[in-house]
Amino acid sequence: MFVDSSRNEKGSGAEILIRGPNNVIIEYALRFAFPTTNNETEYEAMVAGLVIVQSLGINRIWVKEDSKLIIDQVKGICGVYVEIRQTPAYEEATSLPVLEEPKDWRTSIARYLLTGQLPESITEARKIKNHSLRFYVYGKELYKKSWDGPLLSCVSQEDIPKILAKIHQGWCGSHIGGRSLAVKITRIRYFWPTLVKDAMNFVKKYDVCERMGSIQHQPTTSMTPILNPVPFAMWGIDLVGKLPKAKGSLEYVVVVVDYFSK
């Protein structure tokens, strides 16, 4: 007998497969009509499978279950302890340790959009108010309204290096420049405030792009233009033709260029 169980926010259930002699296979799919935890789901699936086996008149059976705890409980090796409390433990707690939240640029914007809470500093409060006009909270995620319509997913500081590396040198990466990398990330619908700056710095620090990039042939210093003192000090004359005859049997055009402004 093979037992597999699953649980999510919509409910829990189990799948039972019984394989007998001569390749006889019997399958059952169960859905539990009561709330369960993960361990309870596995235990109920095992019990349901044993009840089905007993109803079929089977005396000896080999059970395959991925949870050693459930197997030991059925065999009686491991005991099952149930503690019933009059008051939940979380209600009896007098003090809980407060962990300092890591700095995230999204926190202040999302807090203002959801609760209207602003920092005490007038300057910071005004900055958050103006900055949050183009942001939107959907579910538990923060998005930025883009100019072309679709929302941009706002990412945390921890995810920035992964996104830069994956798009720049991943399977579909083309080792593009910093500005092109920033534009490509925006098209994939990611956003953070220092996107362009981080993309430029990432490309500059990438060793392969530095060694394999195209060689610059332009001079390192600015080019000095040649200045002409007066108009028509340097001319350029060109002759265009032979053209279809115009009025007066004209067939050629003389082009004169003054290089004073060039």
199 in the same domain as 259:
no
Residue 262 confidence (pLDDT): 46
Indicate the residue among 45, 75, 105 that finishes a domain.
Answer: 75
Residue 96 resides in a domain: no
Residue 133 resides in a domain: no
Type and span of the H or E element at 199: helix 195-205
∠ Cα 186 190 193 (to 5°) = 85
The span from the CA of 125 to the CA of 135, in Å, is 16
Position 99 confidence tier, pLDDT thresholds 50, 70, 90: very low
- The answer to whether the CB of 14 falls within 8 A of the CB of 40 is no
What average pLDDT does the segment 24-48 reach? 78
Residue 139 resides in a domain: no
6 in the same domain as 70:
yes
65 in the same domain as 23:
yes
Residue 160: φ, ψ to 5°: -60, -50
Residue 131 resides in a domain: no
Residue 149 resides in a domain: no
Query: Pick the residue with more confidence: 97 or 69?
Result: 69
- The answer to whether the CB of 199 falls within 8 A of the CB of 222 is no
Query: Pick the residue with more confidence: 46 or 86?
Result: 46
Residue 178 confidence (pLDDT): 82
Residue 66 resides in a domain: yes
* pLDDT beyond 70 at 95: no
Q: What percent of the chain has pLDDT over 90?
A: 2
Domain interval for residue 260: 231-262
Residue 244 confidence (pLDDT): 87
- Lowest-pLDDT range of 15-24, 72-81, 174-183, 238-247: 72-81
Q: Which residues touch 15 (CB under 8 Å, ≥6 apart)?
A: 3, 4, 5, 27, 28, 29, 30
Residue 96 confidence (pLDDT): 46
> Residue 168 class from Cβ within 10 Å (0-12 exposed, 13-18 middle, 19+ buried)?
buried
- The answer to whether the CB of 64 falls within 8 A of the CB of 2 is yes
* pLDDT beyond 60 at 121: yes
Position 69 confidence tier, pLDDT thresholds 50, 70, 90: low
Segment 178-195, tens digit of pLDDT: 888 888 888 888 999 899
Residue 142: φ, ψ to 5°: -105, 135
Mean pLDDT of the chain: 78
Please state the domain count of the chain. 3
Most confident range, picked from 45-59, 84-98, 178-192:
178-192
71 in the same domain as 8:
yes
What average pLDDT does the segment 91-119 reach? 71
Position 30 confidence tier, pLDDT thresholds 50, 70, 90: confident
260 in the same domain as 201:
no
Residue 141 resides in a domain: no
Segment 40-50, tens digit of pLDDT: 777 777 888 88
Indicate the residue among 18, 47, 75 that finishes a domain.
Answer: 75
Q: Which residues touch 37 (CB under 8 Å, ≥6 apart)?
A: 7
What average pLDDT does the segment 117-141 reach? 87
199 in the same domain as 260:
no
> Residue 101 class from Cβ within 10 Å (0-12 exposed, 13-18 middle, 19+ buried)?
exposed
* pLDDT beyond 60 at 100: no
- The answer to whether the CB of 145 falls within 8 A of the CB of 134 is yes
* pLDDT beyond 70 at 102: no
* pLDDT beyond 70 at 227: no
Residue 103 resides in a domain: no
18 in the same domain as 70:
yes
What average pLDDT does the segment 209-229 reach? 67
Position 104 confidence tier, pLDDT thresholds 50, 70, 90: confident
